[in-house]
Amino acid sequence: MGTVIGIDLGTTNSVVAICEESGSEVIINPEGSKTTPSVVFFPPDGECVVGDLAKRQEIINPERTVRSIKRFMGCRWQESEAKREGITYPLKPNEAGMVTVAFREGVLTPEEVCAKILRSLRKAAESRLGRKIDQAVITVPAYFNDTQRQATKDAGALAGLTVLRIINEPTAAALAYGLGHERHETVAVFDLGGGTFDISLLEIDHDVFEVRSTAGDNFLGGDNFDAALANWIIGEIEREVGVDPRTDSQSHQRIRDAAEKIKCELSSLEKTEINLPFIVSDKTGPKHFVRTIIREEFEAIIEPLARRIIPPCKQALRDANLIPADIDSVILVGGSTRIPMVQRLVTQIFGREPLHTVNPDEVVAMGAAVQGSILTGDIQEVLLLDVTPLSLGIELEGGLFKVLIPRNSSIPTTASRTFTTMRDNQRAVTVHVLQGERKVAMENRSLAKFRLTGIRPAPRDVPEIEVTFHIDANGILSVSAEDLSTAARQEITVESIAALAPDEIERMILESKTHSIEDEEFAKRYEARQNADVLRDKFDHFLTLHGDEIDDRDKKEMREALEQLEASIDANDPIGIEDGRQTVMAYIRQYADLFYIHSMATQAEGGEGKKKTHHDGLPTGDSPSAPGEPGTESDDEDE
């Protein structure tokens, strides 16, 4: 298959590595560094510049220097407000509502900008190896959604690379760390980079790498620490000088650069100096800002942000059914893990000092290179089992969320389930794909909707519609629906209608716990309505066929009871449903012998000894404001 490079496409810095017989090696870029700033400078005319040279342009050309573009990959404009804070280059939505970079000469998508970075890394690898490279494994945060993963693949294609695999950053780090370890170990990979935070718990058993759980924050990283410190410096300048430096884009960028530098310095020093000459001007002339800042001040500024790492870590432990004492090693990934306060919090959470044996800037790219060698067959007998972070499923008629792939399922994976129609002669169903942990469908995150048409006309509950979810090794979801009798089929690759907001995953998981009681009540009401619906249909059928054998007065009362049950089901009235069900059951007991004969005859219609099975029903999509009634997968117990 040829050489496959591993690329850590980071928010702040990117790294490229290869894996050869001697092991993984990080490739040095033309500037002599192993890390390349994820910054691209676009001059008004001429070729763009990537990396350190581009970063030097930020102060004098902030409007044409693009940084942190990874945050806008697969991101809709309406979801990007918080991410746009502090961005100095022009952004605007395109016709599809996605974020783009808008220069006077034209518009660029985030994928096109990232392709410039990837192409630069590819060229560095080709220079090192002396041959053309066109295959890569690229890493992404574990909590990147389907749209963001697909955007990353698209960026690779624009850079002339065939992306063989998209792999989660913590998983890549575990591969680099655990390859060749002849022991059983449970590790926590703590990944705090420039733009995202991921925590993954993995079980490494010789050559088997199994992800037990993953959690994180899609909008927490070094950029946030920089922004918090920059805002503090701006406040100090305003207090001391009386002028807001944000009115000048170059001054604002100088402060952002100073904040990043101070953050790095205070990771190893107890104090440092903020020195910003000529930072602002007033009527009396230019003003300077010089001040000493100590580590304790910096930690007080970032503490609210830093403490956001705690809930995802605890969530990951709960999801894996582990306690801190079960963790053998904690691996730090990402430059922001060098901050002493972060390391102290990690020690408190897991009850042990994190390892310092791997380079946090390089380990992800090295793991991606290892994955590349696994795909080419150069490294054999290594099994990697990654997971999906949230449950995936569809909405049933009546509003229940039906999970097909549970949270933290190993991927790649496929799950299929058979559903049915809810109306006689229904010709189409709507498949509403959702992601989340709530049993109430509308409380989860909508990913996509599509309609399956061409269903064979038949009584309700007869057609069989198979819905299949497939998550590939890149974590990208595809969904198909097929009418098993007509072979009518519809399939889509899911594209999220909105990028995940900050703390979205944690919020969804916590809400599922907070609302667990009311969700259970909703599920019970749903099941009661489901069973009553089945009972209504069978009782109606019974009266139609055997009405002549029933006393006229009883038959009239039975019809009234049936109408009352139908009205309660239509109104979704749980008390009325239960009362109506009890009334109908009383008549069934009164005419038990006759109803028993009817039930045996009904079963015989479906075959010797075969019970008629009712499946969950899919919505038609014709009347979204007035949902129909769901089916059930088991016969009514009372019958």
What is the distance between the alpha carbons of residues 485 and 602, in angstroms, rounded to a whole number?
A: 22
Q: What is the spatial distance between Cα 6 and Cα 16, in angstroms, rounded to a whole number? A: 6
CA atoms within 13 A on the CB side of 93: 11
Q: How far from 29 is each of 17, 20, 33, 506, CA to CA, in Å? A: 11, 18, 6, 37
Q: List Cβ neighbours of 21 (8 Å cut-off, separation of 6 or more).
A: none
- How far, in Å, are 72, 99, 506 from residue 219 at the CA level? 11, 16, 12
What is the C-alpha R_g of the chain? 30
Rounded Cα–Cα distance for residues 89 and 355 (Å):
38
Start-to-end C-alpha separation, the chain: 62
User: Catalytic one among 79, 146, 169, 203?
Assistant: 169
Neighbours of 514 (CB within 10 A): 11
The residue written with tokens 């946030």 in the block is 224
d(CA 340, CA 349): 14
SS3 at position 491? strand
Nearest to 534 by CA among 614, 473, 607: 614
Catalytic site residue from 55, 70, 83, 439: 70
Active site residue 132: no
C-alpha to C-alpha distance for 472 and 46, rounded to whole angstroms: 40
Strand-pair partners of 292 = 273
How many other C-beta atoms are found inside a 10 Å radius of the C-beta of residue 598? 20
In the residue annotation, 282 being an active-site residue is answered as no
Consecutive H or E run containing 55: helix 52-55
Peptide bond into 412 cis (omega under 30): yes
Task: Say whether 92 is catalytic.
Answer: no
Sign of CA dihedral 116, 117, 121, 122: negative
- b vs e for 372-385, b when ≥16 Cβ sit within 10 Å of the residue's Cβ? bbbbeeebeebebb
Residue whose pair of structure tokens reads 């691996």 in the numeric block: 331
User: 555-577: string of b/e by CB count within 10 Å (b at 16+)?
Assistant: beebeebbebbbebbeeeebebb
Residue 337 neighbours by CB under 8 Å, 6+ apart: 190, 191, 192, 343, 346, 354, 360
d(CA 169, CA 171): 5
Given 191, 319, 443, 629, which residue is catalytic?
191
Q: What count of Cα atoms within 13 Å lies in the side-chain half-sphere of residue 80? A: 22
Measure the CA–CA gap between 400 and 298, rounded to whole angstroms.
48
Q: How far apart are CA 388 and CA 142, in angstroms?
A: 8
Q: Are 368 and 172 in contact, with CB atoms under 8 Å apart? A: yes
- Which of 258, 254, 341, 333 has its CA nearest to residue 297? 341
Alpha helix positions (H), 221-331: 222-241, 249-265, 295-306, 310-319
Among all residues, which ones are annotated catalytic? Answer: 8, 70, 169, 191
